[in-house]
Amino acid sequence: MLVAKDTLNELRERFKLNIYEVKIWTALLSRGIAAASELADISGVPRSRCYDVLESLEKKGFIIMKIGKPIKYIAVQPDAVVDRVKNRLQEEAEEQLRIVEELGKTDLFKELELLHKTGVKKVDVENITDSMAGRNNINRFVKDMLLRANKSVTILTNEEGLKHKLKVLKKAKPYLARKKVKVKLYTNARATSIGMENVEVLKTGYDARFVNVDNEEIFFVMAGKDPEYDTGVWIKSPYFVSALNNLFEKGNR
């Protein structure tokens, strides 16, 4: 390992990269220019993932691809990378602000205000919220949610969480198929072929996890350092969940 583990984790957090991206990027910085096979050997990233990671880093402006045989990659100077990351974050922040500002002018916002005025006093918070910890507990909870679905299921997951959601989906598949529940799976993972009928797989730029059932209940998942530290928050509120789903669908277009 060229760079200490703590440094890799700090780079992940500051530059919003995954661990493979950080390892490949720092390996390339140490060489200046290198082929994918060399970077795989230096970084310890599996060769099968190397090209995907390099493509992602190129799109984000961390590296430059040099055409040839073999194809080689050139590291962009760190100060230029910092400028690009700052510009990207600023553009994303401005877009999010625009979405929030536009929300105040919509009928959806009026519904949220109405909910606040008419529903707050009637709601028992203990009956509409819950939380839990540990991946096994979370997977069981998500499965129970899927078995309550009558109309629709919307799942958002990143590459790290995709395999866990697919395991739960497969267990609930017979029930979902029998009830003809419409299932949408949004993911930022590169591999989108999941081998499951009646599940619409859609690409997204969001790096988050939630499960929405019937636009009535939603479960947010937050990954910890290991499976036992995974946590989740469940909310049951048709007004809130429907409004959030509309915002998500709009932002993913």
- Chain segment 207-233, per-residue pLDDT in tens: 888 999 999 999 998 876 666 778 889
Range from 106-115, 208-217, 241-250 carrying the lowest mean pLDDT:
106-115
The lowest-confidence range among 41-55, 108-122, 123-137, 193-207 is 108-122
Domain ranges of the chain: 5-84, 124-251
The one-letter code for the residue type at 62 is F
Mean pLDDT in residue range 182-211: 82
Helices (H), the chain: 5-15, 19-31, 36-43, 47-59, 78-103, 107-119, 125-128, 135-146, 159-178, 238-251
Domain 5-84, second-level architecture = Orthogonal Bundle (1.10)
pLDDT at 64: 92
Q: Do domains 5-84 and 124-251 have the same CATH topology?
A: no
What local confidence, expressed as pLDDT, does residue 38 receive? Answer: 92
Q: What is the pLDDT of residue 214?
A: 94
Q: Please tell me the pTM assigned to this model.
A: 0.49
Residue 123 has pLDDT above 60, yes or no: no
Kindly report, residue by residue over 70-93, the tens digit of the pLDDT: 899 998 888 888 888 888 888 888
pLDDT above 90 for 248? no
Query: Given this model, what pLDDT does residue 210 score?
Result: 93
How far is Cα 136 from Cα 143, in angstroms, rounded to an integer?
Answer: 11
**Rounded to whole angstroms, how far apart are CA atoms 8 and 18?**
10
Say yes or no: domain 124-251 is CATH 3.30.1330.10: no
| 134 pLDDT higher than 80 | yes
